[in-house]
Structure 1
Amino acid sequence: MARKMHPDESRPDDGRDDISVIHSKRQVPIAGQTVVVAEYEFEESLELRPLTNLIVQALYQAFKMKETLDADEVLDVLAPHADVVATLVARAAHVDEAWVRKLGALDTENIVLTWWAVNRDFFVESATRRLRLDRVKATDGPTSTQPSSPTGTAAPSSSDATHAAS
């Protein structure tokens, strides 16, 4: 059964040491070899930002319509961005992009879902941050306020002028 993913879901403490939590990696057999798919490191994540933003935007749109996504729905969100996903997967797995593009359907699904499992927190958090920003903007929009009291901005009266002169 596919696991449902909620944009605000937090990961339970599963006992992994701090280093593996900071930099997640998973091994997966793909096309007869063992491939290690890793979470993007700092510099790499910034270099890939123009590409990752496309996926974040697609997830943002999906989460606006539906609160949770299962694995098949995630694949549906990713499918229109197959070129971008191939590049992102190749970088995360440190393999040649052409090799990724030649994989069969089952190996493609396995490596993409492994890539997603390793990197989903980044994508989901980025998309939900945009959703939260939308909510803040919606609640902080223009509000109607009453004009300020005329006594605070009125010109001095003749009695005020008299007191100032004395």
Structure 2
Amino acid sequence: MTDEAEILYPDKTIQIGGREVTIREFSFRDGLDLGPMIAGLMAVLDKTVGDGSDLSGLFDALYQYPDVLEHMLLKSTCQDKTWLDGLCSADGDMLVMTFWGVNAGFFTRRLATRRMAMQAGKKGVEMAHRNSPAST
């Protein structure tokens, strides 16, 4: 598959845990449903992976939130908890790596939005302070 096709159709099907499993990219609606649940994870990802150029702490960040990770894996694969619980460590790691590959854009966009909002908030506070009667 070409890079362009992978960007447009990031879903990936792999053989794992005795099944052919499709890991799908989260939709807009998934993002709405996951938002409150992943808030803490997003803060840790922001500190850990930053702009995405250093993914060395990615697993550590994801594994700090095992219930959230489990929920996301089940949502992304449409598999049941019994299947997920039965995966060996190597298959579990492969699933998490593939999940991240498919959904990295989902997280990266949210991290970028989070950073832009934080920057806008800082600028708003600075402008409000400059325009306040006490600073004139």
What TM-score, normalized to structure 2?
0.78
Return the alpha-carbon distance in structure 2 between the equivalents of residues 146 and 119 of structure 1: 44
1:63-74 alignment to 2 at 5 Å? 63=49, 68-70=53-55, 72-74=56-58
Indicate the residue corresponding to 1:15 in structure 2. 4
Return the alpha-carbon distance in structure 1 between the equivalents of residues 132 and 102 of structure 2: 52
Return the alpha-carbon distance in structure 2 between the equivalents of residues 113 and 28 of structure 1: 12
Q: Is the CA contact 2:73–2:99 (under 8 Å) kept in the aligned structure 1? A: yes
Return the alpha-carbon distance in structure 2 between the equivalents of residues 146 and 84 of structure 1: 43
Paired residues, number:
130
Equivalent position amino acid for 1:43 in 2: R
- Name the structure where helix makes up a greater proportion of residues: 2
The Cα of 1:146 is off from its aligned counterpart by 9.2
Equivalent position amino acid for 2:21 in 1: V
> Which of residues 123, 128, 134 is equivalent to 1:139?
123
The Cα of 1:120 is off from its aligned counterpart by 1.1
- The percentage of counterpart residues that share the same residue type is 21
> Which of residues 51, 69, 75 is equivalent to 1:85?
69
> Cα distance 1:145–1:84, how it changes in 2: closer, same or farther (>3 A)?
closer
The Cα of 1:49 is off from its aligned counterpart by 2.5
Indicate the residue corresponding to 2:25 in structure 1. 39
Equivalent position amino acid for 1:49 in 2: G
> Cα distance 1:43–1:131, how it changes in 2: closer, same or farther (>3 A)?
closer
Higher Cα Rg: structure 1 or 2? 1
What RMSD over aligned residues (CA atoms) do the two structures have, in Å? 2.7
Once the two structures are superposed, what CA deviation does each residue of 1:17-70 show, in whole Å capped at 9, x if it has no partner? 8xx71x531012211222110012333332233223333222123356x76322
Indicate the residue corresponding to 2:94 in structure 1. 110
Equivalent position amino acid for 1:101 in 2: D
Unaligned runs of 5+ in 1: 1-12, 148-166
| Deviating more after overlay: 104-113 vs 54-63 | 54-63
> Cα distance 1:63–1:16, how it changes in 2: closer, same or farther (>3 A)?
closer
Once the two structures are superposed, what CA deviation does each residue of 1:109-155 show, in whole Å capped at 9, x if it has no partner? 100111111111111111121112222222331443597xxxxxxxx
1:146-157 alignment to 2 at 5 Å? none
Unaligned runs of 5+ in 2: none
SS in 1 for 2:121: helix
